[in-house]
């Protein structure tokens, strides 16, 4: 692996570990800003979530940040499921998982790829609220991650809930 990529992934590992242990809990919501500048520098346009997603995915794969990104929506359009394959950050996830298993470290809770996609939905479509609800799985052997994100188009949709455990 490129030494520069390894260096930056190590920085992200340390950042995520430090933020996890930050006592006030005020830094956890701030990690949603990690990674967003890549797509902010592109001219991502669209009038629907799907158009934004497709345009984001084109830039992410063209930029070499991930080999493949797929998505599906559920829960009345509020749930966004992202599947990411061979992301540039997989070594970061592997290091965090190793630390969690062997050194009492932290479970991964930040995804720069999801952050940048959610930021574009929020800013371009003017959605009310978006967030990464959970990192469902990270398979460092196959290079595949699955995340559940929440996207609220309007104030009226905030608070809508559903049973997404089996999705």
What is the pTM (predicted TM-score) of this model? 0.85
What's the angle, vertex CA 83, arms to CA 78 and CA 84, rounded to 5?
135
Residue 16 CA to residue 94 CA, distance in Å, equals: 13
- Count of domains observed in the chain: 1
Q: Could you give the CA distance from residue 121 to residue 23 in angstroms, rounded to a whole number?
A: 31
What are residue 145's DSSP bridge partners? 84, 138
For residue 161, is it within any domain? no
The tens digit of pLDDT for each residue in 79-134 reads 999 999 999 999 888 888 888 778 777 788 889 999 999 999 999 999 999 998 88
Q: Is residue 29 part of a domain?
A: yes
Residue 167 lies in a domain: no
In a domain? residue 165: no
Domain range for 59 is 3-156
CA atoms of 35 and 66, how far apart (whole Å): 13
Domain holding 60: CATH number? 3.30.1380
Express each pLDDT in 16-37 by its tens digit.
877 777 766 666 667 888 888 9
């Amino acid at each position: 692996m490129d030494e520069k990529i390894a260096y930056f992934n190590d920085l992200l590992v340390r950042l995520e570990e430090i933020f996890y242990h930050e006592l006030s809990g005020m830094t956890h919501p701030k990690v949603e800003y990690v990674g967003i500048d890549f797509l902010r520098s592109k001219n991502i346009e669209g009038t629907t979530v799907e158009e934004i997603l497709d345009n984001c995915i084109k830039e992410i794969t063209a930029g070499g940040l991930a080999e493949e990104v797929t998505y599906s929506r559920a829960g009345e359009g509020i749930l966004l499921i992202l599947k990411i394959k061979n992301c540039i950050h997989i070594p970061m996830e592997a290091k965090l998982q190793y630390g969690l298993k062997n050194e009492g470290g932290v479970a991964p809770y930040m995804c720069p790829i999801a952050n940048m996609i959610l930021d574009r939905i929020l800013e371009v479509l003017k959605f009310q609220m978006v967030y990464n609800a959970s990192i469902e799985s990270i398979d460092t052997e196959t290079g595949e991650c699955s995340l559940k994100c929440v996207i609220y188009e309007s104030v009226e949709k905030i608070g809508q809930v559903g049973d997404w455990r089996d999705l």
